[in-house]
């Protein structure tokens, strides 16, 4: 009770000193206001049926060649600089603005409510312990935890670990290099036998990280792995 009261007082104090401003229009009250949320740039068809690469119908040539281990990737938004979702993901990931996680998770929940995805467990894309110590949090786990609470569905952040701390994907310029960069980085430390996994991350660029995660989960027995991200790069 005391902890809850202190938390509320602290939240009110922060809102007074640093009121939330919409990343789109600058209006006070939320990080993305209702009007800007409605106008966010959405990821629309045609997209690759596997990796959600925009402007590609059917299965893209990269997926046909690489055969990613996930069943498919889904995402509600396109990651473009003109959209507030671009700044929101950057601020969450690199600006330590964790307050963005609940609103981004709410957008994911709204997106899922319009789809017929079937899954048994939410699993966040893990980060390596060294990177976790440096940043202080895993943005994918924050999103997965908030989503789990909103849709009242179980989340397990212990099922999958990142065993190898490969260089950041931002340093790998090509899609093939990003693919090679993360192969074997992830391990599933407990059985996932028969589970349908919803794998959550903030952003998908090539799908290489999600494929490496899906490979580990399927090695542990998962029957399907669908990747869910807030946004997909063009």
Sequence-distant (6+) residues with CB within 8 A of 22 are: 28, 29, 30, 31, 32, 33, 36, 84
Do 45 and 108 have their domain in common? yes
pLDDT of the residue at 14:
44
Residue 200 exposure: Cα atoms within 13 Å on the Cβ side: 28
Do 78 and 100 have their domain in common? yes
Distance in angstroms (rounded) separating the CA atoms of residues 221 and 13? 47
pLDDT of the residue at 95:
86
Do 159 and 216 have their domain in common? yes
Do 95 and 203 have their domain in common? yes
Alpha helices in 21-136 (DSSP H): 34-38, 61-66, 84-94, 100-113, 129-135
Distance in angstroms (rounded) separating the CA atoms of residues 66 and 176? 9
pLDDT of the residue at 10:
42
In terms of residue numbers, what domain contains 182? Answer: 41-232
- Phi/psi at 223 (5° precision): -85, -25
pLDDT of the residue at 194:
98
Give strand pairing partners of 77. 42, 231
Taking CA 108 as the corner, what is the angle to CA 96 and CA 160, rounded to the nearest 5 degrees? 70
**Domain total for the chain?**
2
Do 17 and 82 have their domain in common? no
Do 98 and 112 have their domain in common? yes
Residues of the chain with pLDDT under 50: 1, 4, 6-7, 9-18
Predicted TM-score (pTM) of this structure: 0.88
Strands 196-204 and 77-78, bridge-based pairing: unpaired
């Amino acid at each position: 009770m005391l902890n809850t009261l202190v938390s509320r007082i602290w939240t009110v104090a922060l809102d007074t000193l640093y009121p939330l401003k919409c990343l789109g229009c600058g209006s006070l009250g939320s990080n993305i206001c209702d009007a800007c949320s409605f106008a966010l740039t959405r990821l629309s068809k045609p997209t690759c049926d596997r990796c959600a690469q925009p402007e590609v119908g059917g299965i893209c040539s990269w997926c046909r060649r690489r055969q990613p281990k996930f069943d498919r990737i889904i995402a509600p938004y396109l990651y473009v600089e003109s959209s507030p979702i671009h700044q929101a993901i950057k601020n969450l990931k690199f600006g330590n603005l964790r307050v963005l996680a609940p609103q981004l998770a709410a957008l994911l929940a709204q997106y899922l409510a319009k789809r017929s995805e079937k899954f048994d467990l939410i699993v966040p894309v893990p980060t390596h312990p060294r990177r976790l110590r440096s940043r202080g949090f895993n943005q994918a786990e924050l999103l997965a935890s908030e989503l789990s609470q909103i849709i009242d569905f179980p989340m397990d952040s212990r099922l999958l670990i990142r065993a190898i701390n490969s260089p950041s994907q931002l340093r790998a310029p090509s899609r093939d290099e990003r693919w090679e960069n993360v192969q074997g980085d992830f391990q599933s430390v407990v059985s996932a036998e028969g589970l349908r996994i919803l794998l959550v991350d903030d952003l998908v660029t090539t799908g290489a990280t999600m494929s490496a995660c899906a490979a580990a989960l399927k090695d542990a027995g998962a029957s399907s792995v669908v990747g869910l991200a807030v946004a997909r790069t063009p």
